[in-house]
Amino acid sequence: MFKTVFSTLSAAALGMASPAMASDPNDFDLNNITQADIDEDMQEAKVILMTPYQSQVFSYLMILKIADEAALAEPNVSDLNVRGLQYIERELGMDLNVSENMPLERIGMLLVNLPNLAAQYGHGEADLSKAIEGAIDDISNHFDPHTDYLNTDQIKEMQDMMNNQIVGIGIQMRKDIDPRELEAYSQNGEEAEVLKGNIRIDRILEDGPAGRAGLRRGDIITHVDGTPILEKSTNEIVDLVTGAAGSDVNLTVERDGQVPFNVTITRASVTFPMVESRIIESENIGYVSLSHFGNGAAAQLREGIERLKSENPGLKGFVLDLRFNPGGYLHEAIQIADMFLEDGAILHEQGKVRTTTTRATPGDILNGAPLVVLTNTYSASASELISGSLQDNNRARVVGNQTFGKGTVQSGTLLPNGGYLNVTISHYMTASGDSIQGTGVTPNMRVDGPDGKRPPRVSEADIENFIPNPGTGVDETETDTICYPVVDIYADFQGAADYKAAGTSLDYELSCAIDAFDGHDSPFTDTKPAPKVGEMIFIPPMG
Protein backbone atom coordinates (compact mmCIF):
# COMPACT_ATOMS: atom_id res chain seq x y z
CA MET A 1 0.00 0.00 0.00
CA PHE A 2 2.65 2.55 1.02
CA LYS A 3 5.41 1.03 -1.12
CA THR A 4 4.66 3.43 -3.97
CA VAL A 5 4.72 6.34 -1.55
CA PHE A 6 7.98 5.23 0.04
CA SER A 7 9.63 4.64 -3.32
CA THR A 8 8.55 8.08 -4.49
CA LEU A 9 9.71 9.75 -1.28
CA SER A 10 12.99 7.86 -1.19
CA ALA A 11 13.61 8.83 -4.78
CA ALA A 12 12.81 12.45 -3.95
CA ALA A 13 14.93 12.49 -0.83
CA LEU A 14 17.87 10.75 -2.50
CA GLY A 15 17.61 12.72 -5.73
CA MET A 16 16.61 9.77 -7.94
CA ALA A 17 14.02 9.65 -10.69
CA SER A 18 10.66 8.88 -9.07
CA PRO A 19 8.24 6.31 -10.48
CA ALA A 20 4.73 7.41 -11.35
CA MET A 21 2.21 7.12 -8.55
CA ALA A 22 -0.24 4.24 -8.88
CA SER A 23 -3.55 5.25 -10.37
CA ASP A 24 -5.58 2.72 -8.37
CA PRO A 25 -6.92 4.57 -5.29
CA ASN A 26 -6.89 1.31 -3.34
CA ASP A 27 -3.10 1.48 -3.41
CA PHE A 28 -3.44 4.43 -1.07
CA ASP A 29 -6.49 3.42 0.96
CA LEU A 30 -5.90 4.77 4.46
CA ASN A 31 -8.87 2.87 5.86
CA ASN A 32 -7.45 -0.53 4.93
CA ILE A 33 -4.12 -0.18 6.70
CA THR A 34 -3.25 -3.21 8.83
CA GLN A 35 -0.55 -3.87 11.39
CA ALA A 36 1.12 -6.14 8.84
CA ASP A 37 1.25 -3.21 6.40
CA ILE A 38 2.81 -1.00 9.07
CA ASP A 39 5.38 -3.61 10.07
CA GLU A 40 6.35 -4.22 6.44
CA ASP A 41 6.58 -0.52 5.68
CA MET A 42 8.65 0.17 8.77
CA GLN A 43 11.07 -2.63 7.89
CA GLU A 44 11.46 -1.11 4.44
CA ALA A 45 11.83 2.33 5.97
CA LYS A 46 14.62 1.16 8.27
CA VAL A 47 16.67 0.23 5.22
CA ILE A 48 16.22 3.71 3.78
CA LEU A 49 16.03 5.83 6.93
CA MET A 50 19.36 5.63 8.65
CA THR A 51 18.94 8.52 11.08
CA PRO A 52 16.14 10.17 13.09
CA TYR A 53 16.58 13.25 10.89
CA GLN A 54 15.93 11.27 7.73
CA SER A 55 12.79 9.81 9.30
CA GLN A 56 11.52 13.35 9.85
CA VAL A 57 12.30 14.21 6.22
CA PHE A 58 10.33 11.24 4.95
CA SER A 59 7.44 12.03 7.28
CA TYR A 60 7.32 15.63 6.05
CA LEU A 61 7.25 14.54 2.42
CA MET A 62 4.71 11.82 3.13
CA ILE A 63 2.30 14.34 4.65
CA LEU A 64 2.52 16.44 1.50
CA LYS A 65 1.67 13.37 -0.60
CA ILE A 66 -1.29 12.56 1.66
CA ALA A 67 -2.49 16.16 1.34
CA ASP A 68 -2.34 15.83 -2.43
CA GLU A 69 -3.86 12.38 -2.84
CA ALA A 70 -6.09 11.56 0.14
CA ALA A 71 -7.13 14.63 2.14
CA LEU A 72 -10.81 15.45 1.73
CA ALA A 73 -10.20 19.18 2.23
CA GLU A 74 -7.81 19.22 -0.75
CA PRO A 75 -5.43 21.72 0.84
CA ASN A 76 -3.06 23.62 -1.44
CA VAL A 77 0.09 21.51 -1.20
CA SER A 78 2.31 24.37 -2.36
CA ASP A 79 0.96 26.61 0.41
CA LEU A 80 1.47 23.84 2.98
CA ASN A 81 5.07 23.38 1.89
CA VAL A 82 5.81 27.09 1.95
CA ARG A 83 4.35 27.23 5.47
CA GLY A 84 6.41 24.23 6.58
CA LEU A 85 9.71 25.45 5.15
CA GLN A 86 9.14 28.95 6.51
CA TYR A 87 8.58 27.39 9.93
CA ILE A 88 11.96 25.64 9.61
CA GLU A 89 13.57 28.91 8.52
CA ARG A 90 12.23 30.72 11.60
CA GLU A 91 13.26 27.96 14.00
CA LEU A 92 16.81 27.72 12.65
CA GLY A 93 17.36 31.35 11.62
CA MET A 94 18.26 30.32 8.07
CA ASP A 95 17.25 31.34 4.55
CA LEU A 96 16.14 28.31 2.52
CA ASN A 97 15.14 30.29 -0.58
CA VAL A 98 11.55 29.04 -0.31
CA SER A 99 9.33 29.50 -3.37
CA GLU A 100 5.83 28.49 -4.37
CA ASN A 101 5.08 25.33 -6.37
CA MET A 102 8.32 23.59 -5.44
CA PRO A 103 8.36 20.03 -6.90
CA LEU A 104 8.50 17.19 -4.39
CA GLU A 105 11.92 16.16 -5.68
CA ARG A 106 13.32 19.64 -5.04
CA ILE A 107 11.84 19.71 -1.54
CA GLY A 108 13.42 16.33 -0.86
CA MET A 109 16.79 17.48 -2.13
CA LEU A 110 16.58 20.67 -0.05
CA LEU A 111 15.85 18.73 3.14
CA VAL A 112 18.44 16.04 2.45
CA ASN A 113 21.12 18.70 1.95
CA LEU A 114 19.90 20.82 4.86
CA PRO A 115 22.38 19.34 7.40
CA ASN A 116 25.33 20.67 5.40
CA LEU A 117 23.84 24.16 5.27
CA ALA A 118 22.69 24.06 8.88
CA ALA A 119 26.15 23.11 10.08
CA GLN A 120 27.34 26.53 8.94
CA TYR A 121 24.87 28.02 11.43
CA GLY A 122 25.92 25.73 14.25
CA HIS A 123 22.91 23.41 14.03
CA GLY A 124 23.20 19.64 14.35
CA GLU A 125 20.74 16.99 13.21
CA ALA A 126 18.92 17.07 16.56
CA ASP A 127 18.02 20.73 15.95
CA LEU A 128 16.95 19.90 12.41
CA SER A 129 14.79 16.97 13.52
CA LYS A 130 13.02 19.14 16.08
CA ALA A 131 12.42 21.90 13.53
CA ILE A 132 11.02 19.54 10.90
CA GLU A 133 8.69 17.82 13.38
CA GLY A 134 7.46 21.27 14.39
CA ALA A 135 6.82 22.03 10.73
CA ILE A 136 4.92 18.74 10.38
CA ASP A 137 2.71 19.70 13.31
CA ASP A 138 2.18 23.19 11.87
CA ILE A 139 1.15 22.14 8.37
CA SER A 140 -1.13 19.36 9.64
CA ASN A 141 -3.14 22.03 11.46
CA HIS A 142 -3.91 23.69 8.12
CA PHE A 143 -5.68 20.85 6.34
CA ASP A 144 -9.04 21.19 8.13
CA PRO A 145 -10.21 21.46 11.76
CA HIS A 146 -10.04 17.70 12.41
CA THR A 147 -6.75 16.71 10.79
CA ASP A 148 -4.05 16.49 13.43
CA TYR A 149 -0.50 15.28 13.96
CA LEU A 150 0.40 13.38 17.14
CA ASN A 151 3.94 12.75 18.33
CA THR A 152 4.86 9.54 20.13
CA ASP A 153 3.87 10.88 23.57
CA GLN A 154 0.53 12.15 22.26
CA ILE A 155 -0.15 8.78 20.60
CA LYS A 156 0.15 7.11 24.00
CA GLU A 157 -2.21 9.68 25.53
CA MET A 158 -4.75 9.11 22.74
CA GLN A 159 -4.57 5.33 23.12
CA ASP A 160 -5.07 5.61 26.87
CA MET A 161 -8.04 7.91 26.36
CA MET A 162 -9.71 5.64 23.80
CA ASN A 163 -9.10 2.68 26.13
CA ASN A 164 -10.59 4.76 28.99
CA GLN A 165 -7.34 4.52 30.94
CA ILE A 166 -6.18 7.81 32.40
CA VAL A 167 -4.22 9.11 35.36
CA GLY A 168 -6.53 11.47 37.17
CA ILE A 169 -9.14 11.65 39.90
CA GLY A 170 -11.93 9.55 38.37
CA ILE A 171 -14.38 12.14 37.08
CA GLN A 172 -15.82 13.15 33.74
CA MET A 173 -16.50 16.85 33.60
CA ARG A 174 -17.73 19.67 31.39
CA LYS A 175 -17.79 23.43 31.57
CA ASP A 176 -20.85 24.82 33.37
CA ILE A 177 -21.41 27.61 30.86
CA ASP A 178 -23.81 30.50 31.38
CA PRO A 179 -26.55 30.01 28.73
CA ARG A 180 -26.33 33.70 27.83
CA GLU A 181 -22.67 33.30 26.90
CA LEU A 182 -23.37 30.11 24.96
CA GLU A 183 -26.06 31.97 23.02
CA ALA A 184 -23.60 34.78 22.26
CA TYR A 185 -21.05 32.21 21.08
CA SER A 186 -23.58 30.52 18.79
CA GLN A 187 -24.20 33.91 17.17
CA ASN A 188 -20.60 35.11 16.96
CA GLY A 189 -18.72 31.87 16.24
CA GLU A 190 -14.97 32.05 16.65
CA GLU A 191 -15.06 35.49 18.29
CA ALA A 192 -15.38 33.77 21.67
CA GLU A 193 -12.11 31.88 22.12
CA VAL A 194 -12.89 30.59 25.63
CA LEU A 195 -16.38 30.27 27.04
CA LYS A 196 -16.50 31.27 30.69
CA GLY A 197 -17.59 28.60 33.11
CA ASN A 198 -16.49 26.49 36.03
CA ILE A 199 -16.44 22.68 35.84
CA ARG A 200 -19.44 20.48 36.57
CA ILE A 201 -18.88 16.81 37.43
CA ASP A 202 -21.03 14.77 35.02
CA ARG A 203 -19.87 11.28 36.02
CA ILE A 204 -17.81 10.00 38.91
CA LEU A 205 -16.30 6.65 39.75
CA GLU A 206 -17.59 5.79 43.20
CA ASP A 207 -14.43 3.79 43.96
CA GLY A 208 -12.14 6.31 42.24
CA PRO A 209 -10.03 8.98 43.97
CA ALA A 210 -12.70 11.71 43.77
CA GLY A 211 -15.50 9.34 44.79
CA ARG A 212 -13.57 8.14 47.83
CA ALA A 213 -12.89 11.77 48.74
CA GLY A 214 -16.63 12.47 48.89
CA LEU A 215 -17.24 14.32 45.62
CA ARG A 216 -20.57 13.79 43.87
CA ARG A 217 -22.12 14.06 40.44
CA GLY A 218 -23.27 17.65 39.95
CA ASP A 219 -20.56 19.24 42.13
CA ILE A 220 -19.01 22.41 40.69
CA ILE A 221 -15.22 22.83 40.72
CA THR A 222 -14.17 26.50 40.84
CA HIS A 223 -10.43 26.34 41.63
CA VAL A 224 -7.63 23.84 41.05
CA ASP A 225 -4.68 24.21 43.44
CA GLY A 226 -5.95 27.70 44.20
CA THR A 227 -6.12 28.74 40.54
CA PRO A 228 -9.53 30.04 39.38
CA ILE A 229 -10.69 28.16 36.28
CA LEU A 230 -13.68 30.27 35.22
CA GLU A 231 -11.89 31.75 32.20
CA LYS A 232 -9.65 28.80 31.32
CA SER A 233 -10.24 26.51 28.36
CA THR A 234 -11.34 22.93 28.90
CA ASN A 235 -7.92 21.64 27.82
CA GLU A 236 -6.18 23.95 30.28
CA ILE A 237 -8.43 22.72 33.08
CA VAL A 238 -7.78 19.08 32.18
CA ASP A 239 -4.05 19.77 32.35
CA LEU A 240 -4.49 21.25 35.83
CA VAL A 241 -6.59 18.39 37.17
CA THR A 242 -4.56 15.52 35.72
CA GLY A 243 -0.97 14.70 36.64
CA ALA A 244 1.35 11.95 37.76
CA ALA A 245 -0.05 9.00 39.68
CA GLY A 246 0.49 9.50 43.40
CA SER A 247 0.55 13.29 43.20
CA ASP A 248 -2.04 15.45 44.97
CA VAL A 249 -4.43 18.07 43.62
CA ASN A 250 -6.50 20.47 45.73
CA LEU A 251 -9.97 21.39 44.47
CA THR A 252 -12.38 24.10 45.60
CA VAL A 253 -15.91 22.74 45.27
CA GLU A 254 -19.41 24.25 45.38
CA ARG A 255 -22.43 22.06 46.14
CA ASP A 256 -26.13 22.98 46.18
CA GLY A 257 -25.56 26.56 47.27
CA GLN A 258 -23.53 25.55 50.32
CA VAL A 259 -20.34 27.25 51.45
CA PRO A 260 -17.50 26.22 49.08
CA PHE A 261 -15.07 23.69 50.53
CA ASN A 262 -11.60 22.43 49.66
CA VAL A 263 -10.65 18.79 49.18
CA THR A 264 -7.25 17.25 48.44
CA ILE A 265 -7.27 14.20 46.17
CA THR A 266 -4.44 11.85 45.26
CA ARG A 267 -4.30 11.11 41.53
CA ALA A 268 -4.29 7.49 40.38
CA SER A 269 -4.67 5.39 37.24
CA VAL A 270 -8.40 4.88 36.61
CA THR A 271 -10.49 3.13 33.98
CA PHE A 272 -13.83 4.72 33.12
CA PRO A 273 -16.62 2.51 31.75
CA MET A 274 -18.06 4.01 28.59
CA VAL A 275 -21.55 2.66 29.27
CA GLU A 276 -24.00 3.29 32.10
CA SER A 277 -27.12 1.12 32.18
CA ARG A 278 -30.09 1.34 34.54
CA ILE A 279 -33.82 0.76 34.72
CA ILE A 280 -36.17 3.72 34.99
CA GLU A 281 -38.40 1.77 37.33
CA SER A 282 -41.39 4.09 37.37
CA GLU A 283 -41.72 3.69 33.59
CA ASN A 284 -40.29 0.18 33.10
CA ILE A 285 -37.87 1.53 30.50
CA GLY A 286 -34.22 0.61 30.05
CA TYR A 287 -31.69 3.45 30.01
CA VAL A 288 -28.19 3.19 28.53
CA SER A 289 -25.78 6.07 28.08
CA LEU A 290 -22.55 6.07 26.10
CA SER A 291 -19.84 8.62 26.87
CA HIS A 292 -17.79 8.10 23.69
CA PHE A 293 -16.93 5.46 21.10
CA GLY A 294 -13.66 4.06 22.40
CA ASN A 295 -12.26 0.56 22.08
CA GLY A 296 -14.92 -1.96 23.11
CA ALA A 297 -17.83 0.51 23.18
CA ALA A 298 -20.12 -1.79 21.18
CA ALA A 299 -19.33 -4.80 23.37
CA GLN A 300 -19.94 -2.79 26.57
CA LEU A 301 -23.24 -1.47 25.23
CA ARG A 302 -24.41 -4.94 24.20
CA GLU A 303 -23.48 -6.30 27.63
CA GLY A 304 -25.39 -3.52 29.39
CA ILE A 305 -28.52 -4.02 27.30
CA GLU A 306 -28.47 -7.82 27.66
CA ARG A 307 -28.10 -7.47 31.44
CA LEU A 308 -31.11 -5.17 31.68
CA LYS A 309 -33.18 -7.47 29.46
CA SER A 310 -32.34 -10.55 31.53
CA GLU A 311 -33.11 -8.80 34.82
CA ASN A 312 -36.32 -7.19 33.50
CA PRO A 313 -37.88 -9.26 30.70
CA GLY A 314 -40.93 -7.00 30.41
CA LEU A 315 -39.18 -3.74 29.52
CA LYS A 316 -41.32 -1.70 27.15
CA GLY A 317 -38.40 0.05 25.45
CA PHE A 318 -34.99 1.68 25.76
CA VAL A 319 -33.46 5.15 25.83
CA LEU A 320 -30.00 5.44 24.26
CA ASP A 321 -28.46 8.62 25.68
CA LEU A 322 -25.84 10.18 23.39
CA ARG A 323 -25.85 13.65 24.93
CA PHE A 324 -22.36 15.14 25.24
CA ASN A 325 -20.94 12.19 23.27
CA PRO A 326 -18.27 13.69 20.96
CA GLY A 327 -17.76 10.58 18.81
CA GLY A 328 -14.82 8.22 18.48
CA TYR A 329 -14.02 5.12 16.45
CA LEU A 330 -16.16 4.69 13.35
CA HIS A 331 -16.12 0.88 13.47
CA GLU A 332 -17.58 0.93 16.99
CA ALA A 333 -20.38 3.25 15.87
CA ILE A 334 -21.19 1.01 12.91
CA GLN A 335 -21.43 -2.03 15.19
CA ILE A 336 -23.77 -0.17 17.53
CA ALA A 337 -26.08 1.04 14.76
CA ASP A 338 -26.11 -2.50 13.33
CA MET A 339 -27.08 -3.80 16.77
CA PHE A 340 -30.56 -2.25 16.44
CA LEU A 341 -31.20 -2.85 12.72
CA GLU A 342 -32.41 -5.90 10.81
CA ASP A 343 -31.46 -4.49 7.42
CA GLY A 344 -30.96 -1.25 5.51
CA ALA A 345 -28.04 1.10 5.01
CA ILE A 346 -26.07 2.34 8.00
CA LEU A 347 -23.89 4.90 6.26
CA HIS A 348 -22.38 5.96 2.97
CA GLU A 349 -18.80 7.25 2.73
CA GLN A 350 -17.60 9.52 -0.06
CA GLY A 351 -13.99 10.63 -0.37
CA LYS A 352 -10.98 10.84 -2.66
CA VAL A 353 -9.76 7.35 -1.79
CA ARG A 354 -12.90 5.69 -0.47
CA THR A 355 -16.53 5.53 -1.60
CA THR A 356 -18.53 2.80 0.11
CA THR A 357 -21.90 1.87 1.58
CA THR A 358 -22.14 -0.12 4.82
CA ARG A 359 -25.33 -2.11 5.37
CA ALA A 360 -26.86 -3.68 8.46
CA THR A 361 -26.79 -7.41 9.11
CA PRO A 362 -29.87 -9.28 10.43
CA GLY A 363 -30.46 -9.24 14.18
CA ASP A 364 -32.05 -6.53 16.36
CA ILE A 365 -30.93 -6.80 19.99
CA LEU A 366 -34.26 -5.29 21.12
CA ASN A 367 -36.40 -7.46 18.84
CA GLY A 368 -38.24 -4.39 17.61
CA ALA A 369 -38.96 -2.87 21.03
CA PRO A 370 -39.32 0.94 20.93
CA LEU A 371 -36.07 2.91 20.98
CA VAL A 372 -35.49 6.60 21.68
CA VAL A 373 -32.13 8.27 21.05
CA LEU A 374 -31.42 11.31 23.21
CA THR A 375 -29.17 14.02 21.70
CA ASN A 376 -28.05 17.59 22.29
CA THR A 377 -25.87 20.16 20.57
CA TYR A 378 -22.74 18.40 21.87
CA SER A 379 -23.65 15.04 20.27
CA ALA A 380 -21.17 14.82 17.42
CA SER A 381 -19.66 12.63 14.73
CA ALA A 382 -20.27 8.93 15.52
CA SER A 383 -23.20 9.96 17.76
CA GLU A 384 -24.78 11.64 14.75
CA LEU A 385 -24.11 8.64 12.54
CA ILE A 386 -26.08 6.42 14.93
CA SER A 387 -28.93 8.82 15.65
CA GLY A 388 -29.28 9.79 11.99
CA SER A 389 -29.17 6.26 10.60
CA LEU A 390 -31.59 4.83 13.18
CA GLN A 391 -33.91 7.74 12.43
CA ASP A 392 -33.60 7.28 8.65
CA ASN A 393 -34.42 3.58 8.99
CA ASN A 394 -37.49 4.44 11.14
CA ARG A 395 -35.97 2.40 13.95
CA ALA A 396 -35.79 5.15 16.57
CA ARG A 397 -37.22 8.53 17.43
CA VAL A 398 -34.60 11.17 18.12
CA VAL A 399 -35.41 13.42 21.07
CA GLY A 400 -33.47 16.47 22.21
CA ASN A 401 -31.83 19.13 20.09
CA GLN A 402 -30.10 19.55 16.76
CA THR A 403 -26.74 17.82 16.93
CA PHE A 404 -23.30 19.35 16.31
CA GLY A 405 -22.97 18.57 12.60
CA LYS A 406 -19.62 16.78 12.18
CA GLY A 407 -20.12 14.62 9.12
CA THR A 408 -16.55 13.67 8.22
CA VAL A 409 -14.38 10.61 8.76
CA GLN A 410 -10.75 10.63 9.89
CA SER A 411 -8.22 7.86 9.34
CA GLY A 412 -4.84 7.41 10.99
CA THR A 413 -1.51 6.92 9.25
CA LEU A 414 1.65 5.89 11.08
CA LEU A 415 4.59 7.97 9.87
CA PRO A 416 8.25 6.91 9.57
CA ASN A 417 9.23 9.19 12.48
CA GLY A 418 6.91 7.24 14.80
CA GLY A 419 4.29 9.99 14.75
CA TYR A 420 0.70 9.66 13.61
CA LEU A 421 -1.32 11.72 11.14
CA ASN A 422 -5.07 11.64 11.73
CA VAL A 423 -6.40 12.98 8.44
CA THR A 424 -9.92 13.72 7.22
CA ILE A 425 -10.51 11.42 4.24
CA SER A 426 -14.25 11.32 3.56
CA HIS A 427 -17.74 12.62 4.15
CA TYR A 428 -20.24 10.24 5.66
CA MET A 429 -23.92 10.29 4.89
CA THR A 430 -26.66 8.70 6.97
CA ALA A 431 -28.84 5.93 5.56
CA SER A 432 -30.96 8.30 3.44
CA GLY A 433 -27.87 9.72 1.75
CA ASP A 434 -28.11 13.01 3.64
CA SER A 435 -24.88 14.63 4.82
CA ILE A 436 -25.12 16.17 8.29
CA GLN A 437 -21.88 18.16 7.83
CA GLY A 438 -22.45 21.59 9.36
CA THR A 439 -26.18 20.95 9.82
CA GLY A 440 -26.60 18.07 12.28
CA VAL A 441 -29.42 15.60 12.92
CA THR A 442 -32.89 17.10 13.31
CA PRO A 443 -34.79 15.60 16.28
CA ASN A 444 -38.29 14.21 15.88
CA MET A 445 -39.15 15.71 19.27
CA ARG A 446 -37.37 18.93 20.16
CA VAL A 447 -36.75 19.76 23.80
CA ASP A 448 -36.98 23.46 24.59
CA GLY A 449 -35.72 25.14 27.72
CA PRO A 450 -37.67 26.12 30.83
CA ASP A 451 -38.24 29.59 29.34
CA GLY A 452 -39.79 28.13 26.19
CA LYS A 453 -36.76 29.02 24.08
CA ARG A 454 -34.51 26.68 22.16
CA PRO A 455 -31.21 26.05 23.93
CA PRO A 456 -28.26 27.85 22.31
CA ARG A 457 -26.49 25.75 19.69
CA VAL A 458 -22.85 25.23 18.82
CA SER A 459 -22.05 23.75 15.44
CA GLU A 460 -19.33 22.45 13.18
CA ALA A 461 -20.27 25.35 10.90
CA ASP A 462 -19.03 27.77 13.59
CA ILE A 463 -15.47 26.46 13.20
CA GLU A 464 -13.12 28.43 11.00
CA ASN A 465 -12.11 26.58 7.82
CA PHE A 466 -14.67 23.79 8.27
CA ILE A 467 -15.28 21.52 5.28
CA PRO A 468 -18.54 22.52 3.53
CA ASN A 469 -21.50 20.19 3.23
CA PRO A 470 -21.25 18.25 -0.06
CA GLY A 471 -24.96 18.78 -0.72
CA THR A 472 -25.83 15.11 -0.96
CA GLY A 473 -29.39 14.13 -0.11
CA VAL A 474 -32.04 16.16 1.67
CA ASP A 475 -32.83 16.17 5.38
CA GLU A 476 -36.46 15.03 5.27
CA THR A 477 -36.96 14.93 9.04
CA GLU A 478 -39.30 17.54 10.44
CA THR A 479 -39.66 18.11 14.16
CA ASP A 480 -43.24 17.08 14.85
CA THR A 481 -43.35 17.64 18.63
CA ILE A 482 -41.95 20.13 21.11
CA CYS A 483 -41.44 19.10 24.73
CA TYR A 484 -40.70 21.49 27.56
CA PRO A 485 -40.60 21.38 31.37
CA VAL A 486 -43.52 22.61 33.45
CA VAL A 487 -41.75 22.28 36.78
CA ASP A 488 -38.12 22.53 37.81
CA ILE A 489 -37.10 18.86 38.05
CA TYR A 490 -33.90 17.02 38.74
CA ALA A 491 -32.91 13.44 37.97
CA ASP A 492 -31.61 11.19 40.73
CA PHE A 493 -30.00 8.10 39.25
CA GLN A 494 -28.92 6.96 42.67
CA GLY A 495 -32.60 6.13 43.12
CA ALA A 496 -33.11 4.43 39.74
CA ALA A 497 -34.10 7.66 37.96
CA ASP A 498 -37.20 8.33 40.04
CA TYR A 499 -37.12 12.04 39.15
CA LYS A 500 -36.48 13.26 42.65
CA ALA A 501 -34.98 16.64 43.42
CA ALA A 502 -31.35 15.77 43.98
CA GLY A 503 -28.00 17.14 42.91
CA THR A 504 -27.86 20.02 40.50
CA SER A 505 -28.27 18.39 37.10
CA LEU A 506 -31.50 19.42 35.39
CA ASP A 507 -32.68 16.50 33.27
CA TYR A 508 -36.08 17.32 31.83
CA GLU A 509 -34.63 16.13 28.49
CA LEU A 510 -34.71 12.56 29.79
CA SER A 511 -38.29 13.03 30.93
CA CYS A 512 -39.18 14.21 27.41
CA ALA A 513 -37.49 11.11 25.99
CA ILE A 514 -39.73 8.94 28.17
CA ASP A 515 -42.76 10.92 26.99
CA ALA A 516 -41.85 9.94 23.42
CA PHE A 517 -42.56 6.25 24.05
CA ASP A 518 -46.33 6.42 24.37
CA GLY A 519 -47.21 10.08 23.94
CA HIS A 520 -48.24 10.77 27.54
CA ASP A 521 -46.82 13.69 29.45
CA SER A 522 -44.91 13.10 32.64
CA PRO A 523 -45.74 15.16 35.75
CA PHE A 524 -42.81 17.38 34.87
CA THR A 525 -43.15 18.05 31.13
CA ASP A 526 -45.70 18.97 28.51
CA THR A 527 -45.68 18.29 24.77
CA LYS A 528 -47.24 20.23 21.93
CA PRO A 529 -47.29 19.69 18.16
CA ALA A 530 -44.51 21.63 16.53
CA PRO A 531 -45.89 24.80 14.94
CA LYS A 532 -45.96 25.18 11.20
CA VAL A 533 -44.12 28.05 9.59
CA GLY A 534 -45.67 31.30 10.74
CA GLU A 535 -47.59 29.74 13.63
CA MET A 536 -47.01 30.55 17.29
CA ILE A 537 -46.97 28.08 20.15
CA PHE A 538 -48.06 29.01 23.67
CA ILE A 539 -45.77 27.88 26.48
CA PRO A 540 -47.38 28.32 29.92
CA PRO A 541 -45.21 29.63 32.74
CA MET A 542 -43.42 27.14 34.95
CA GLY A 543 -45.08 26.21 38.22
Residue 201, domain CATH = 2.30.42.10
Instruction: Note if 178 is an active site residue.
Output: no
What confidence tier does 189 reach under pLDDT thresholds 50, 70, 90? Answer: very low
- Amino acid at site 72: L
Are both 99 and 229 inside the same structural domain? no
**What's the average model confidence in pLDDT over 96-118?**
82
Nearest by Cα to 142 from 43, 75, 224, 52: 75
Q: What is the CATH number of the domain that holds 285?
A: 3.90.226
Among residues 406, 434, 435, 511, the one annotated as catalytic is 406
Tell me whether residue 261 is in a domain: yes
Of 247, 271, 295, the position where a domain reaches its end is 271
Domain-located, residue 431: no
Interatomic CA distance for residues 58 and 53, integer angstroms: 9
**What's the mean per-residue pLDDT of the chain?**
81
Count of domains for the chain? 3
Same domain, yes or no, for 516 and 381? yes
Do 294 and 332 fall into the same domain?
yes
From the list 232, 221, 245, 262, the residue with the least C-alpha distance to 168 is 245
Q: Tell me whether residue 301 is in a domain.
A: yes
Per DSSP, 465 falls in state T
Is 424 a member of any domain?
no
Domain match, 368 and 255 both: no
381 flagged as catalytic: yes
492 pLDDT higher than 80: no
Report pLDDT for 502. 36
Q: Which domain holds residue 191?
A: 166-271
**pLDDT level of residue 248 (50, 70, 90 thresholds):** very high
In this structure, the answer to whether residues 132 and 260 fall within a common structural domain is no
* Phi then psi dihedrals of residue 483, to 5 deg: -115, 140
The rounded distance, in Å, linking the Cα atoms of 506 and 290 is 19
Q: Could you tell me what percentage of the chain is helix, strand and coil, using 3-state DSSP and rounding each to the nearest 5?
A: 35, 20, 45
Catalytic residue among 59, 277, 381, 387: 381
Calculate the alpha carbon distances from 365 to 9, 309, 341, 395, 513 in Å. Answer: 49, 10, 8, 12, 20
Q: Give backbone dihedrals phi and psi of 292, rounded to 5 degrees, phi first.
A: -165, 175
Q: Looking at the structure, do residues 22 and 113 belong to the same domain, yes or no?
A: yes
Residues 237 and 290 in one domain: no
Q: What is the pLDDT of residue 36?
A: 52
Q: Residue 149's pLDDT is what?
A: 94
106 and 24 part of one domain: yes
Domain limit, last residue, from 143, 175, 199: 143
Active site residue 392: yes
Same structural domain, 287 and 260: no
> Does 142 have pLDDT greater than 60?
yes
Greatest mean pLDDT range, 32-46, 185-199, 372-386, 518-532: 372-386
**Beta-bridge partners for 347:** 358
**DSSP 3-state of 361:** coil
Q: Are residue 489 and residue 453 in the same domain, yes or no?
A: yes
Residue 433 within any structural domain of the chain: no
Instruction: State the average pLDDT over residues 333-352.
Output: 96
Q: Are residues 315 and 455 in the same domain?
A: yes
Q: Are residues 216 and 254 in the same domain?
A: yes
pLDDT tens digits for 331-341?
999 999 999 99
- Of the candidates 392, 434, 462, 515, the residue annotated as catalytic is 392
Size of the chain, expressed as the number of residues it contains: 543
Contacts of 10 (CB under 8 A, 6+ apart): 16, 48, 58
Residue 299 amino acid letter: A
Amino acid making up residue 39: D
HEC string of 328-357 equals ECHHHHHHHHHHCCCCCEEEEEEECCCEEE
- Of the pLDDT bands very low, low, confident and very high (cuts 50, 70, 90), residue 497 is very low
**Does the residue 419 lie in any domain?**
no
Is 265 part of a structural domain of the chain? Answer: yes
In a domain, 426, yes or no: no
Q: What is the 3-state secondary structure (H, E, C) of 280-291?
A: ECCCCEEEEEEC
Q: Which of 226, 250, 271 is the last residue of a domain?
A: 271
